[in-house]
Protein backbone atom coordinates (compact mmCIF):
# COMPACT_ATOMS: atom_id res chain seq x y z
CA UNK A 1 0.00 0.00 0.00
CA UNK A 2 2.55 2.63 1.03
CA UNK A 3 4.97 1.70 -1.75
CA UNK A 4 2.20 1.55 -4.34
CA UNK A 5 0.95 5.04 -3.45
CA UNK A 6 4.35 6.69 -2.86
CA UNK A 7 4.57 8.34 -6.29
CA UNK A 8 0.89 9.12 -6.78
CA UNK A 9 -0.91 12.43 -6.49
CA UNK A 10 -4.55 13.54 -6.34
CA UNK A 11 -4.56 13.09 -10.14
CA UNK A 12 -7.32 14.81 -12.00
CA UNK A 13 -8.61 18.29 -12.16
CA UNK A 14 -6.47 21.00 -10.63
CA UNK A 15 -3.75 19.18 -8.67
CA UNK A 16 -2.07 22.47 -7.69
CA UNK A 17 -5.31 23.67 -6.06
CA UNK A 18 -5.87 20.27 -4.43
CA UNK A 19 -2.38 20.26 -2.93
CA UNK A 20 -2.77 23.84 -1.71
CA UNK A 21 -6.30 23.36 -0.33
CA UNK A 22 -6.09 19.73 0.79
CA UNK A 23 -2.34 19.47 1.59
CA UNK A 24 0.07 17.27 -0.29
CA UNK A 25 -1.22 13.88 -1.40
CA UNK A 26 1.82 12.26 0.24
CA UNK A 27 0.44 13.16 3.70
CA UNK A 28 -3.29 13.15 2.89
CA UNK A 29 -6.10 11.08 4.35
CA UNK A 30 -6.97 10.11 0.77
CA UNK A 31 -3.62 8.30 0.53
CA UNK A 32 -4.13 6.70 3.96
CA UNK A 33 -7.49 5.31 2.81
CA UNK A 34 -5.90 3.94 -0.38
CA UNK A 35 -3.18 2.29 1.70
CA UNK A 36 -5.67 0.78 4.15
CA UNK A 37 -7.85 -0.53 1.29
CA UNK A 38 -4.88 -2.49 -0.08
CA UNK A 39 -3.65 -3.96 3.23
CA UNK A 40 -6.02 -6.94 3.34
CA UNK A 41 -7.04 -9.50 0.78
CA UNK A 42 -10.70 -9.21 -0.30
CA UNK A 43 -11.74 -12.35 1.62
CA UNK A 44 -9.55 -11.83 4.71
CA UNK A 45 -12.26 -11.14 7.30
CA UNK A 46 -9.87 -11.11 10.31
CA UNK A 47 -7.60 -8.53 8.69
CA UNK A 48 -10.53 -6.26 7.77
CA UNK A 49 -11.94 -6.58 11.30
CA UNK A 50 -8.60 -5.68 12.86
CA UNK A 51 -8.24 -2.61 10.60
CA UNK A 52 -11.75 -1.48 11.45
CA UNK A 53 -11.11 -1.98 15.18
CA UNK A 54 -7.87 0.03 15.10
CA UNK A 55 -8.74 2.62 12.42
CA UNK A 56 -8.42 5.56 14.85
CA UNK A 57 -4.94 4.42 15.95
CA UNK A 58 -3.83 4.14 12.32
CA UNK A 59 -5.19 7.61 11.55
CA UNK A 60 -3.40 9.02 14.61
CA UNK A 61 -0.15 7.46 13.44
CA UNK A 62 -0.63 8.78 9.91
CA UNK A 63 -1.50 12.33 10.95
CA UNK A 64 0.61 12.86 14.10
CA UNK A 65 3.06 10.04 14.86
CA UNK A 66 4.53 9.04 11.49
CA UNK A 67 7.56 11.33 11.79
CA UNK A 68 8.43 10.02 15.26
CA UNK A 69 7.71 6.37 14.32
CA UNK A 70 8.37 6.02 10.57
CA UNK A 71 8.08 2.20 10.54
CA UNK A 72 4.35 1.41 10.60
CA UNK A 73 4.89 -2.33 11.16
CA UNK A 74 7.16 -1.72 14.17
CA UNK A 75 4.88 0.94 15.69
CA UNK A 76 1.52 -0.72 15.04
CA UNK A 77 2.12 -4.45 15.11
CA UNK A 78 5.12 -4.78 17.45
CA UNK A 79 4.87 -1.86 19.90
CA UNK A 80 1.18 -0.86 19.97
CA UNK A 81 -0.74 -4.13 19.51
CA UNK A 82 2.13 -6.39 20.63
CA UNK A 83 1.07 -9.18 18.26
CA UNK A 84 4.22 -9.35 16.10
CA UNK A 85 7.95 -9.69 16.64
CA UNK A 86 10.56 -7.31 15.29
CA UNK A 87 12.70 -8.62 12.43
CA UNK A 88 15.54 -10.77 13.77
CA UNK A 89 13.41 -12.32 16.52
CA UNK A 90 11.07 -15.32 16.76
CA UNK A 91 8.43 -17.03 18.89
CA UNK A 92 5.82 -15.79 21.35
CA UNK A 93 8.51 -14.10 23.48
CA UNK A 94 10.29 -12.55 20.46
CA UNK A 95 13.66 -14.14 21.25
CA UNK A 96 16.74 -13.06 19.27
CA UNK A 97 17.64 -15.14 16.22
CA UNK A 98 21.08 -16.74 16.06
CA UNK A 99 23.75 -14.19 15.09
CA UNK A 100 24.34 -16.06 11.81
CA UNK A 101 20.71 -15.59 10.70
CA UNK A 102 18.81 -13.06 8.66
CA UNK A 103 15.35 -13.95 9.98
CA UNK A 104 14.60 -17.27 11.64
CA UNK A 105 11.84 -19.65 12.65
CA UNK A 106 13.40 -20.85 15.90
CA UNK A 107 16.55 -21.24 18.00
CA UNK A 108 19.96 -21.95 16.50
CA UNK A 109 21.71 -21.64 13.13
CA UNK A 110 19.65 -24.51 11.68
CA UNK A 111 16.50 -22.34 11.96
CA UNK A 112 17.80 -19.47 9.80
CA UNK A 113 15.68 -18.32 6.86
CA UNK A 114 18.86 -16.86 5.30
CA UNK A 115 22.46 -16.48 6.43
CA UNK A 116 24.28 -13.24 7.17
CA UNK A 117 27.15 -12.31 4.80
CA UNK A 118 30.20 -14.49 5.45
CA UNK A 119 28.03 -17.55 6.19
CA UNK A 120 26.37 -20.08 3.89
CA UNK A 121 23.77 -22.85 4.28
CA UNK A 122 25.59 -26.14 4.83
CA UNK A 123 23.81 -29.29 5.97
CA UNK A 124 20.72 -27.22 6.80
CA UNK A 125 22.41 -24.57 8.95
CA UNK A 126 24.46 -21.42 8.55
CA UNK A 127 28.18 -22.16 8.60
CA UNK A 128 31.15 -19.82 8.36
CA UNK A 129 32.65 -19.46 4.89
CA UNK A 130 36.43 -19.99 4.99
CA UNK A 131 37.32 -17.22 2.55
CA UNK A 132 41.02 -18.12 2.85
CA UNK A 133 40.33 -21.55 1.28
CA UNK A 134 38.39 -20.25 -1.72
CA UNK A 135 39.78 -20.92 -5.20
CA UNK A 136 39.95 -17.19 -5.89
CA UNK A 137 42.41 -15.61 -3.46
CA UNK A 138 40.98 -12.88 -1.23
CA UNK A 139 44.38 -11.63 -0.01
CA UNK A 140 46.07 -10.56 -3.21
CA UNK A 141 49.22 -8.72 -2.14
CA UNK A 142 52.51 -10.57 -2.56
CA UNK A 143 53.65 -12.49 0.59
CA UNK A 144 50.37 -11.71 2.40
CA UNK A 145 48.77 -14.20 4.81
CA UNK A 146 45.02 -14.83 5.08
CA UNK A 147 43.34 -15.61 8.41
CA UNK A 148 39.72 -16.74 8.56
CA UNK A 149 37.53 -15.06 11.21
CA UNK A 150 33.86 -15.72 12.06
CA UNK A 151 31.92 -14.33 9.10
CA UNK A 152 34.94 -12.70 7.50
CA UNK A 153 38.74 -12.79 7.10
CA UNK A 154 41.81 -10.61 7.59
CA UNK A 155 44.87 -10.15 5.37
CA UNK A 156 48.11 -9.61 7.27
CA UNK A 157 51.76 -9.23 6.35
CA UNK A 158 53.96 -11.78 8.14
CA UNK A 159 56.34 -10.71 10.90
CA UNK A 160 59.40 -9.03 9.46
CA UNK A 161 57.39 -7.58 6.57
CA UNK A 162 55.67 -4.24 6.18
CA UNK A 163 52.56 -3.43 4.23
CA UNK A 164 52.59 -1.50 0.98
CA UNK A 165 49.71 -1.03 -1.43
CA UNK A 166 50.71 -3.96 -3.62
CA UNK A 167 52.87 -6.26 -1.47
CA UNK A 168 54.26 -7.22 1.90
CA UNK A 169 57.90 -6.10 1.75
CA UNK A 170 60.65 -7.51 3.99
CA UNK A 171 61.81 -4.89 6.47
CA UNK A 172 65.56 -4.33 6.78
CA UNK A 173 67.01 -5.25 10.15
CA UNK A 174 70.46 -4.31 11.49
CA UNK A 175 71.82 -7.70 10.31
CA UNK A 176 70.47 -7.05 6.78
CA UNK A 177 72.09 -3.60 6.45
CA UNK A 178 74.97 -3.33 3.97
CA UNK A 179 77.96 -1.18 5.07
CA UNK A 180 78.33 2.06 3.15
CA UNK A 181 81.93 1.22 2.08
CA UNK A 182 82.30 -2.56 1.86
CA UNK A 183 86.12 -2.30 1.42
CA UNK A 184 86.60 -0.90 4.95
CA UNK A 185 85.85 -2.98 8.05
CA UNK A 186 83.20 -1.58 10.37
CA UNK A 187 84.50 0.86 13.00
CA UNK A 188 85.13 -0.70 16.39
CA UNK A 189 84.48 1.37 19.41
CA UNK A 190 86.31 -0.92 21.82
CA UNK A 191 89.79 -0.13 20.40
Question: pLDDT tens, 53-70?
Answer: 999 998 999 888 989 999
45 to 42, 52, 75, 99: CA distances (angstroms)? 8, 11, 23, 37
pTM of the prediction? Answer: 0.57
So what CATH class is 132-174? mainly beta
**Strand-pair category, 95-96 with 168-170:** unpaired
Helix (H, G, I), strand (E, B) or coil at 27: helix
Residue (of 103, 119, 123) closest to 151 by Cα position: 119
Task: Say what angle helices 29-39 and 45-53 make with each other, to 10 degrees.
Answer: 150
Burial class (CB in 10 A: 0-12, 13-18, 19+), 126: buried
The residue-averaged pLDDT of 16-35 equals 70
Residues whose CB falls within 8 Å of the CB of residue 75, separated by 6 or more in sequence, listed in order: 61, 65, 69
Which residues have a Cβ under 8 Å from the Cβ of 101 and sit 6 or more positions away?
Answer: 88, 109, 111, 112, 113, 114, 115, 116, 126
Q: How confident is the model at residue 105 (pLDDT cuts 50, 70, 90)?
A: very high
Q: Which residue ranges make up each domain of the chain?
A: 2-80, 89-129, 132-174
Q: Which residue has the higher pLDDT, 107 or 23?
A: 107
> Taking Cα atoms as reference points, which of 86, 61, 60, 144 lies closest to residue 95?
86
Residue 11 — very low, low, confident or very high, per pLDDT cuts 50/70/90? low
Residue range 106-129: mean pLDDT, rounded: 94
Region 98-119: mean pLDDT is 94
Task: Kindly tell me if the per-residue pLDDT of 182 is higher than 60.
Answer: no
Say whether pLDDT at 6 is over 50: no
- Per the model's pLDDT, the better-predicted residue between 191 and 42 turns out to be 42
Question: If pLDDT is split at 50, 70 and 90, which confidence band does 10 have?
Answer: very low
What integer pLDDT is reported at residue 7 of this predicted model? 45
4 vs 68, more confident: 68
3-state secondary structure of 140: coil
Q: Is the pLDDT of residue 33 over 90?
A: no
The pLDDT tens digits for 161-177 are 999 989 999 987 655 55
Average pLDDT across the chain, whole number: 82
Amino acid sequence: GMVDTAKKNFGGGNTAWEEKALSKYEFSEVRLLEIMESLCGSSDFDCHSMLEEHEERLEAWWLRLKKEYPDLFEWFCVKTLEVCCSPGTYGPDCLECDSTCVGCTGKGPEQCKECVPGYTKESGQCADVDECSLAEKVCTRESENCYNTPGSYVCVCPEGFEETETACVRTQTAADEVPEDPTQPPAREDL
